[in-house]
Amino acid sequence: MNINEQVEILMQGTEYGDDNLRKTMEMELRQRLLDAEKEGRKLRVYCGYDPRSPDLHIGHTVTMRKLRQFQDLGHEVTFVIGTYTSLIGDPSDKDKLRPLLTFDQVIEHARTYAEQAFRILDREKTTVRFNHEWLEGLTFAQLIQLGSNFTIQQFLTREAFRKRWDEGDGIYLHEFFYAIMQGYDAYALKTDVQVGGTDQLFNIITAGRKVMAALDEKPNIGIIMAILPGTDGVIKMSKSLGNHIPLNSTPEDMYGKVMSVPDAAMPQYAVLVTRWLPVKVAEFQNGLKSGSLHPRDAKMALAWEITATYYSEADAERAQQAFVRQFQQGQIPDEMPEFVLTAGQTVLDVLLAAGLVASKSDGRRLIDQKGVKLDGIALEKGDLPFPGPGVLQVGKRRFARIH
Protein backbone atom coordinates (compact mmCIF):
# COMPACT_ATOMS: atom_id res chain seq x y z
CA MET A 1 0.00 0.00 0.00
CA ASN A 2 1.49 3.34 -0.99
CA ILE A 3 1.92 6.31 1.38
CA ASN A 4 -1.15 8.21 0.18
CA GLU A 5 -3.36 5.14 0.66
CA GLN A 6 -1.97 4.66 4.16
CA VAL A 7 -2.65 8.31 5.03
CA GLU A 8 -6.24 8.04 3.79
CA ILE A 9 -6.89 5.04 6.04
CA LEU A 10 -5.07 6.43 9.07
CA MET A 11 -6.83 9.81 8.92
CA GLN A 12 -10.27 8.18 8.56
CA GLY A 13 -12.52 9.14 11.47
CA THR A 14 -10.24 11.88 12.80
CA GLU A 15 -11.61 15.11 14.19
CA TYR A 16 -9.52 18.13 15.19
CA GLY A 17 -12.06 20.94 15.38
CA ASP A 18 -9.76 23.00 13.17
CA ASP A 19 -9.14 22.32 9.49
CA ASN A 20 -5.66 23.85 9.52
CA LEU A 21 -4.60 21.62 12.41
CA ARG A 22 -5.95 18.59 10.59
CA LYS A 23 -4.02 19.50 7.45
CA THR A 24 -0.86 19.99 9.53
CA MET A 25 -1.17 16.58 11.19
CA GLU A 26 -1.92 14.91 7.86
CA MET A 27 1.09 16.57 6.26
CA GLU A 28 3.37 15.56 9.16
CA LEU A 29 2.05 11.99 9.07
CA ARG A 30 2.74 11.72 5.36
CA GLN A 31 6.27 13.08 5.82
CA ARG A 32 7.00 10.81 8.78
CA LEU A 33 5.86 7.80 6.74
CA LEU A 34 8.11 8.85 3.88
CA ASP A 35 11.07 9.36 6.22
CA ALA A 36 10.48 6.01 7.93
CA GLU A 37 10.33 4.28 4.54
CA LYS A 38 13.67 5.80 3.55
CA GLU A 39 15.18 4.77 6.90
CA GLY A 40 13.83 1.24 6.55
CA ARG A 41 11.82 1.37 9.78
CA LYS A 42 8.20 1.38 10.91
CA LEU A 43 6.42 4.10 12.83
CA ARG A 44 6.23 3.81 16.63
CA VAL A 45 2.59 4.29 17.60
CA TYR A 46 0.89 4.26 20.97
CA CYS A 47 -2.28 5.04 22.85
CA GLY A 48 -2.73 5.13 26.61
CA TYR A 49 -5.69 3.79 28.57
CA ASP A 50 -6.42 4.61 32.20
CA PRO A 51 -7.97 1.58 33.95
CA ARG A 52 -10.23 3.53 36.28
CA SER A 53 -12.89 0.83 35.95
CA PRO A 54 -12.52 -2.85 35.00
CA ASP A 55 -14.83 -2.98 31.99
CA LEU A 56 -14.65 -1.50 28.51
CA HIS A 57 -17.40 -0.57 26.08
CA ILE A 58 -17.05 -0.13 22.33
CA GLY A 59 -16.61 3.62 22.73
CA HIS A 60 -13.25 2.88 24.38
CA THR A 61 -12.22 0.80 21.38
CA VAL A 62 -12.40 3.55 18.75
CA THR A 63 -8.72 4.30 19.35
CA MET A 64 -7.90 0.57 19.50
CA ARG A 65 -9.48 0.20 16.07
CA LYS A 66 -7.07 2.88 14.83
CA LEU A 67 -4.12 1.12 16.47
CA ARG A 68 -5.16 -2.06 14.66
CA GLN A 69 -5.07 -0.18 11.35
CA PHE A 70 -1.49 0.85 12.09
CA GLN A 71 -0.69 -2.78 12.92
CA ASP A 72 -2.25 -4.03 9.71
CA LEU A 73 -0.04 -1.59 7.82
CA GLY A 74 3.03 -3.04 9.54
CA HIS A 75 3.77 -0.36 12.13
CA GLU A 76 4.83 -0.92 15.76
CA VAL A 77 2.04 -0.49 18.32
CA THR A 78 2.37 -0.05 22.06
CA PHE A 79 -0.67 -0.37 24.31
CA VAL A 80 0.04 1.75 27.39
CA ILE A 81 -1.88 1.08 30.58
CA GLY A 82 -1.91 4.25 32.67
CA THR A 83 -1.06 2.74 36.01
CA TYR A 84 0.30 6.12 37.16
CA THR A 85 -1.88 8.60 35.27
CA SER A 86 -4.91 6.71 36.62
CA LEU A 87 -3.93 7.79 40.11
CA ILE A 88 -4.99 11.30 39.08
CA GLY A 89 -7.60 10.65 36.41
CA ASP A 90 -7.87 12.68 33.23
CA PRO A 91 -9.77 15.93 33.95
CA SER A 92 -10.16 16.76 30.23
CA ASP A 93 -13.88 16.12 29.91
CA LYS A 94 -14.90 16.33 33.56
CA ASP A 95 -16.62 19.28 35.21
CA LYS A 96 -15.70 18.15 38.71
CA LEU A 97 -12.75 16.62 40.54
CA ARG A 98 -12.27 12.92 39.82
CA PRO A 99 -11.84 10.67 42.86
CA LEU A 100 -8.31 9.44 43.48
CA LEU A 101 -7.66 5.71 43.09
CA THR A 102 -5.07 3.66 44.92
CA PHE A 103 -2.30 1.91 43.02
CA ASP A 104 -3.76 -1.48 44.04
CA GLN A 105 -7.16 -0.53 42.57
CA VAL A 106 -5.54 0.52 39.31
CA ILE A 107 -3.48 -2.68 39.02
CA GLU A 108 -6.58 -4.80 39.65
CA HIS A 109 -8.49 -3.02 36.87
CA ALA A 110 -5.48 -3.18 34.56
CA ARG A 111 -5.52 -6.99 34.66
CA THR A 112 -8.64 -7.05 32.50
CA TYR A 113 -7.77 -4.20 30.14
CA ALA A 114 -5.18 -5.83 27.91
CA GLU A 115 -7.25 -9.01 27.52
CA GLN A 116 -10.25 -6.98 26.41
CA ALA A 117 -8.04 -4.97 24.05
CA PHE A 118 -6.90 -8.15 22.30
CA ARG A 119 -10.44 -8.52 20.98
CA ILE A 120 -9.31 -5.80 18.53
CA LEU A 121 -5.52 -5.72 18.57
CA ASP A 122 -3.18 -8.40 17.23
CA ARG A 123 -1.78 -9.99 20.39
CA GLU A 124 1.43 -11.05 18.65
CA LYS A 125 2.12 -7.55 17.34
CA THR A 126 1.23 -5.56 20.46
CA THR A 127 3.65 -4.37 23.12
CA VAL A 128 1.96 -3.72 26.48
CA ARG A 129 3.60 -1.19 28.81
CA PHE A 130 2.64 0.35 32.16
CA ASN A 131 3.47 4.02 32.57
CA HIS A 132 4.54 3.69 36.20
CA GLU A 133 7.67 2.11 34.67
CA TRP A 134 8.99 5.57 33.80
CA LEU A 135 6.80 8.02 35.71
CA GLU A 136 7.47 6.76 39.22
CA GLY A 137 11.19 7.43 38.74
CA LEU A 138 10.86 11.14 37.93
CA THR A 139 12.56 13.43 40.42
CA PHE A 140 11.16 16.67 41.78
CA ALA A 141 13.79 18.57 39.78
CA GLN A 142 12.59 16.88 36.58
CA LEU A 143 8.98 17.81 37.38
CA ILE A 144 10.01 21.44 37.84
CA GLN A 145 11.77 21.35 34.47
CA LEU A 146 8.73 19.83 32.76
CA GLY A 147 6.32 22.23 34.46
CA SER A 148 8.35 25.24 33.33
CA ASN A 149 7.15 24.63 29.77
CA PHE A 150 3.53 25.45 30.62
CA THR A 151 1.56 28.41 31.90
CA ILE A 152 -1.49 28.32 34.16
CA GLN A 153 -3.36 30.25 31.45
CA GLN A 154 -2.91 27.34 29.03
CA PHE A 155 -4.74 25.04 31.40
CA LEU A 156 -7.45 27.53 32.34
CA THR A 157 -8.44 28.00 28.70
CA ARG A 158 -9.56 24.37 28.63
CA GLU A 159 -13.35 24.10 28.71
CA ALA A 160 -13.64 21.76 31.72
CA PHE A 161 -11.33 23.90 33.88
CA ARG A 162 -12.86 27.16 32.66
CA LYS A 163 -16.36 25.97 33.61
CA ARG A 164 -15.25 25.04 37.11
CA TRP A 165 -13.39 28.35 37.47
CA ASP A 166 -16.43 30.36 36.38
CA GLU A 167 -18.68 28.44 38.79
CA GLY A 168 -16.27 28.85 41.70
CA ASP A 169 -15.52 25.12 41.95
CA GLY A 170 -12.10 23.97 43.05
CA ILE A 171 -9.36 23.21 40.52
CA TYR A 172 -6.59 21.25 42.19
CA LEU A 173 -2.89 21.55 41.41
CA HIS A 174 -2.38 17.81 40.88
CA GLU A 175 -4.91 17.89 37.99
CA PHE A 176 -2.45 19.97 35.96
CA PHE A 177 0.07 17.14 36.25
CA TYR A 178 -2.01 14.81 34.11
CA ALA A 179 -1.26 16.42 30.73
CA ILE A 180 2.43 16.72 31.61
CA MET A 181 2.58 13.05 32.63
CA GLN A 182 0.91 12.01 29.39
CA GLY A 183 3.35 14.15 27.45
CA TYR A 184 6.18 12.36 29.22
CA ASP A 185 4.69 9.00 28.16
CA ALA A 186 5.18 10.06 24.53
CA TYR A 187 8.77 11.11 25.26
CA ALA A 188 9.61 7.90 27.17
CA LEU A 189 8.38 5.78 24.27
CA LYS A 190 10.11 7.97 21.63
CA THR A 191 6.86 7.76 19.75
CA ASP A 192 6.12 8.93 16.23
CA VAL A 193 2.34 8.89 16.61
CA GLN A 194 -0.06 9.11 19.54
CA VAL A 195 -3.70 8.14 19.09
CA GLY A 196 -6.46 9.60 21.27
CA GLY A 197 -9.99 10.98 21.30
CA THR A 198 -10.99 14.62 20.89
CA ASP A 199 -11.01 14.94 24.68
CA GLN A 200 -7.24 14.31 24.48
CA LEU A 201 -6.50 17.14 22.03
CA PHE A 202 -4.75 19.33 24.60
CA ASN A 203 -2.86 16.42 26.18
CA ILE A 204 -1.54 15.18 22.82
CA ILE A 205 -1.18 18.22 20.59
CA THR A 206 -0.19 20.81 23.19
CA ALA A 207 1.37 18.92 26.10
CA GLY A 208 2.82 15.88 24.35
CA ARG A 209 4.46 17.77 21.50
CA LYS A 210 5.74 20.47 23.87
CA VAL A 211 7.31 17.98 26.29
CA MET A 212 8.98 16.04 23.48
CA ALA A 213 10.39 19.21 21.89
CA ALA A 214 11.63 20.45 25.29
CA LEU A 215 13.48 17.16 25.79
CA ASP A 216 15.04 17.30 22.29
CA GLU A 217 12.82 14.69 20.65
CA LYS A 218 10.93 15.17 17.40
CA PRO A 219 7.31 15.99 18.41
CA ASN A 220 4.85 13.19 17.88
CA ILE A 221 1.91 13.35 15.50
CA GLY A 222 -1.55 13.38 17.00
CA ILE A 223 -4.21 11.15 15.45
CA ILE A 224 -7.30 12.56 17.15
CA MET A 225 -10.39 10.40 16.85
CA ALA A 226 -14.01 11.52 16.97
CA ILE A 227 -16.01 10.43 20.02
CA LEU A 228 -18.55 7.64 19.52
CA PRO A 229 -22.09 8.58 20.58
CA GLY A 230 -24.00 6.15 22.77
CA THR A 231 -27.07 4.17 21.83
CA ASP A 232 -29.09 7.38 22.11
CA GLY A 233 -27.12 8.63 19.10
CA VAL A 234 -26.29 11.95 20.74
CA ILE A 235 -24.37 11.86 24.02
CA LYS A 236 -20.89 10.35 24.40
CA MET A 237 -21.11 6.63 25.16
CA SER A 238 -20.91 6.13 28.91
CA LYS A 239 -21.61 3.30 31.30
CA SER A 240 -22.86 5.77 33.92
CA LEU A 241 -25.44 7.11 31.45
CA GLY A 242 -26.59 3.64 30.47
CA ASN A 243 -26.13 4.32 26.73
CA HIS A 244 -23.14 2.01 26.31
CA ILE A 245 -22.51 -1.23 24.43
CA PRO A 246 -20.28 -3.35 26.69
CA LEU A 247 -17.47 -5.49 25.36
CA ASN A 248 -17.99 -8.18 27.97
CA SER A 249 -21.58 -9.09 27.20
CA THR A 250 -22.91 -11.43 24.50
CA PRO A 251 -23.01 -11.24 20.69
CA GLU A 252 -26.81 -11.11 20.87
CA ASP A 253 -26.73 -8.18 23.27
CA MET A 254 -24.21 -6.29 21.14
CA TYR A 255 -26.15 -6.91 17.93
CA GLY A 256 -29.43 -5.84 19.55
CA LYS A 257 -27.95 -2.69 21.05
CA VAL A 258 -26.49 -1.62 17.69
CA MET A 259 -29.92 -2.18 16.14
CA SER A 260 -31.34 0.27 18.71
CA VAL A 261 -28.98 3.08 17.64
CA PRO A 262 -30.84 5.92 15.84
CA ASP A 263 -30.47 5.97 12.07
CA ALA A 264 -28.72 9.36 12.16
CA ALA A 265 -25.77 7.88 14.09
CA MET A 266 -25.11 5.03 11.66
CA PRO A 267 -22.51 6.91 9.57
CA GLN A 268 -20.44 7.62 12.71
CA TYR A 269 -20.57 3.99 13.81
CA ALA A 270 -19.53 2.88 10.31
CA VAL A 271 -16.43 5.10 10.46
CA LEU A 272 -15.40 4.53 14.07
CA VAL A 273 -16.14 0.92 15.06
CA THR A 274 -16.03 -1.22 11.93
CA ARG A 275 -13.19 -2.76 9.96
CA TRP A 276 -14.44 -1.10 6.79
CA LEU A 277 -11.93 0.80 4.68
CA PRO A 278 -12.71 4.32 3.37
CA VAL A 279 -14.20 3.04 0.07
CA LYS A 280 -16.64 0.75 1.90
CA VAL A 281 -17.57 3.46 4.41
CA ALA A 282 -18.24 5.95 1.60
CA GLU A 283 -20.39 3.38 -0.22
CA PHE A 284 -22.41 2.78 2.97
CA GLN A 285 -22.89 6.49 3.70
CA ASN A 286 -23.75 7.35 0.10
CA GLY A 287 -26.29 4.52 -0.01
CA LEU A 288 -28.02 5.91 3.07
CA LYS A 289 -27.98 9.44 1.69
CA SER A 290 -29.35 8.50 -1.72
CA GLY A 291 -31.92 6.07 -0.36
CA SER A 292 -30.55 3.15 -2.37
CA LEU A 293 -29.72 1.42 0.93
CA HIS A 294 -32.75 0.89 3.18
CA PRO A 295 -32.04 2.07 6.78
CA ARG A 296 -33.15 -1.32 8.19
CA ASP A 297 -30.80 -3.23 5.87
CA ALA A 298 -28.02 -0.74 6.58
CA LYS A 299 -28.39 -1.15 10.31
CA MET A 300 -28.45 -4.94 10.08
CA ALA A 301 -25.25 -4.85 8.01
CA LEU A 302 -23.71 -2.50 10.56
CA ALA A 303 -24.80 -4.61 13.55
CA TRP A 304 -23.45 -7.77 11.87
CA GLU A 305 -20.09 -6.12 11.11
CA ILE A 306 -19.65 -4.67 14.60
CA THR A 307 -20.59 -7.94 16.29
CA ALA A 308 -18.24 -9.86 13.99
CA THR A 309 -15.47 -7.37 14.75
CA TYR A 310 -15.61 -7.96 18.50
CA TYR A 311 -16.67 -11.62 18.50
CA SER A 312 -16.63 -13.67 15.25
CA GLU A 313 -18.52 -13.97 12.00
CA ALA A 314 -20.25 -17.12 13.28
CA ASP A 315 -21.31 -15.29 16.46
CA ALA A 316 -22.59 -12.37 14.37
CA GLU A 317 -24.61 -14.74 12.19
CA ARG A 318 -26.22 -16.41 15.21
CA ALA A 319 -26.95 -13.03 16.79
CA GLN A 320 -28.59 -11.81 13.60
CA GLN A 321 -30.75 -14.93 13.30
CA ALA A 322 -31.78 -14.57 16.95
CA PHE A 323 -32.70 -10.93 16.39
CA VAL A 324 -34.80 -11.77 13.33
CA ARG A 325 -36.62 -14.54 15.21
CA GLN A 326 -37.22 -12.37 18.24
CA PHE A 327 -38.21 -9.05 16.72
CA GLN A 328 -39.10 -9.55 13.07
CA GLN A 329 -40.93 -12.84 13.65
CA GLY A 330 -42.13 -12.09 17.18
CA GLN A 331 -40.40 -15.03 18.87
CA ILE A 332 -38.60 -15.11 22.19
CA PRO A 333 -34.98 -16.34 22.17
CA ASP A 334 -34.24 -20.05 22.50
CA GLU A 335 -31.63 -19.44 25.19
CA MET A 336 -31.73 -17.00 28.09
CA PRO A 337 -30.41 -16.70 31.66
CA GLU A 338 -32.13 -18.79 34.32
CA PHE A 339 -33.25 -17.34 37.67
CA VAL A 340 -34.60 -19.18 40.72
CA LEU A 341 -37.17 -17.31 42.79
CA THR A 342 -36.74 -16.89 46.53
CA ALA A 343 -39.80 -16.65 48.77
CA GLY A 344 -40.91 -13.09 49.39
CA GLN A 345 -39.11 -11.48 46.46
CA THR A 346 -40.95 -8.59 44.83
CA VAL A 347 -40.98 -7.81 41.13
CA LEU A 348 -38.28 -5.16 41.67
CA ASP A 349 -36.20 -7.59 43.75
CA VAL A 350 -36.22 -10.12 40.89
CA LEU A 351 -35.44 -7.54 38.23
CA LEU A 352 -32.41 -6.36 40.19
CA ALA A 353 -31.18 -9.78 41.33
CA ALA A 354 -31.49 -11.21 37.80
CA GLY A 355 -29.39 -8.36 36.43
CA LEU A 356 -32.17 -7.11 34.16
CA VAL A 357 -32.08 -3.54 35.50
CA ALA A 358 -29.31 -1.37 36.87
CA SER A 359 -31.29 -0.14 39.88
CA LYS A 360 -34.74 -0.26 41.43
CA SER A 361 -35.46 3.24 40.12
CA ASP A 362 -34.61 1.96 36.63
CA GLY A 363 -37.00 -0.95 37.22
CA ARG A 364 -39.83 1.35 38.36
CA ARG A 365 -39.38 3.50 35.27
CA LEU A 366 -39.62 0.46 32.97
CA ILE A 367 -42.68 -0.87 34.80
CA ASP A 368 -44.38 2.51 34.42
CA GLN A 369 -43.63 2.37 30.70
CA LYS A 370 -45.20 -1.12 30.42
CA GLY A 371 -41.75 -2.45 29.56
CA VAL A 372 -41.71 -5.38 32.02
CA LYS A 373 -43.67 -8.48 31.02
CA LEU A 374 -44.10 -11.99 32.35
CA ASP A 375 -45.15 -14.43 29.60
CA GLY A 376 -46.22 -11.46 27.50
CA ILE A 377 -48.35 -9.77 30.18
CA ALA A 378 -47.20 -6.40 31.53
CA LEU A 379 -46.42 -6.26 35.25
CA GLU A 380 -47.82 -3.07 36.74
CA LYS A 381 -46.57 -3.01 40.34
CA GLY A 382 -42.94 -3.31 41.33
CA ASP A 383 -43.48 -3.73 45.08
CA LEU A 384 -45.86 -6.70 44.78
CA PRO A 385 -44.62 -10.29 45.23
CA PHE A 386 -43.34 -11.77 41.99
CA PRO A 387 -46.26 -13.67 40.35
CA GLY A 388 -44.44 -16.92 39.67
CA PRO A 389 -42.48 -18.90 37.06
CA GLY A 390 -42.36 -17.86 33.40
CA VAL A 391 -40.38 -15.88 30.83
CA LEU A 392 -39.60 -12.40 32.15
CA GLN A 393 -38.98 -9.77 29.47
CA VAL A 394 -37.55 -6.31 30.14
CA GLY A 395 -37.63 -3.87 27.26
CA LYS A 396 -37.06 -5.40 23.84
CA ARG A 397 -33.90 -7.42 24.37
CA ARG A 398 -33.57 -8.63 27.96
CA PHE A 399 -35.04 -11.98 29.00
CA ALA A 400 -34.78 -14.40 31.89
CA ARG A 401 -36.50 -17.70 32.55
CA ILE A 402 -37.88 -17.60 36.06
CA HIS A 403 -38.25 -20.86 38.05
> Quick check: 94 pLDDT over 70?
no
Looking at the fold, whether 268 and 348 belong to one and the same domain comes out as no
* 378 found inside a domain: yes
If asked whether residues 289 and 362 sit together in one domain, one would say no
**90 and 212 in one domain?**
yes
pLDDT of res. 89: 57
Check pLDDT > 90 for residue 354.
yes
Evaluate if residue 81 carries a pLDDT over 80.
Answer: yes
Q: Which domain-ending residue is among 276, 299, 328? A: 328
Are residue 139 and residue 197 in the same domain, yes or no? yes
More confident residue, 223 or 333: 223
Which helix (H) or strand (E) segment holds residue 37: the answer is helix 19-39
Please write the tens of the pLDDT for every residue from 314-335.
Answer: 999 999 998 888 766 667 777 8
Let me know whether 324 and 345 are in one domain: no
Mean pLDDT of 180-188: 94
Pair 291, 157 in one domain: no
Confidence at residue 91, expressed as pLDDT on a 0 to 100 scale: 53
Cα 349 to Cα 209: distance, rounded to the nearest angstrom:
53
Buried/exposed 97-107: b ≥16 CB within 10 Å, e otherwise: ebeebeeebbb
Same domain, 120 and 139: yes
pLDDT reading at 51 higher than 90: no
Closest C-alpha to 334, from 288, 394, 399, 383 = 399
| pLDDT band (50, 70, 90) for residue 30 | very high
Our CA dihedral for 72, 73, 75, 77, rounded to 10 degrees, sits at: -30
192 lies in some domain: yes
Residue 229 has a pLDDT of 93
- CA dist., res. 188 & res. 217, Å (int): 10
**Mean pLDDT of all residues in 374-379:** 79
In a domain, 233, yes or no: no
Name the domain count of the chain. 3
Measured CA to CA, the distance from residue 349 to residue 386 in angstroms comes to: 8
Select from 309, 328, 347 the last residue of a domain.
Answer: 328
> What is the domain-level CATH number for residue 104?
3.40.50.620
CATH code of 378's domain: 3.10.290.10
Residue 85: predicted pLDDT: 82
Same domain, 54 and 76: yes
Q: Are residues 303 and 369 located together in one domain of the fold? A: no
Asked whether residue 271 falls in the same domain as residue 171, the answer is no
- Residue 277: partners with Cβ closer than 8 Å, 6 or more residues away: 9, 12
pLDDT at 97: 47
Q: Domain for residue 387, yes or no?
A: yes
Domain check: are 342 and 196 in the same one?
no
Bigger pLDDT: 87 or 147? 147
Residue ranges making up the domain that contains 305: 251-328
Domain co-membership, 62 together with 189: yes
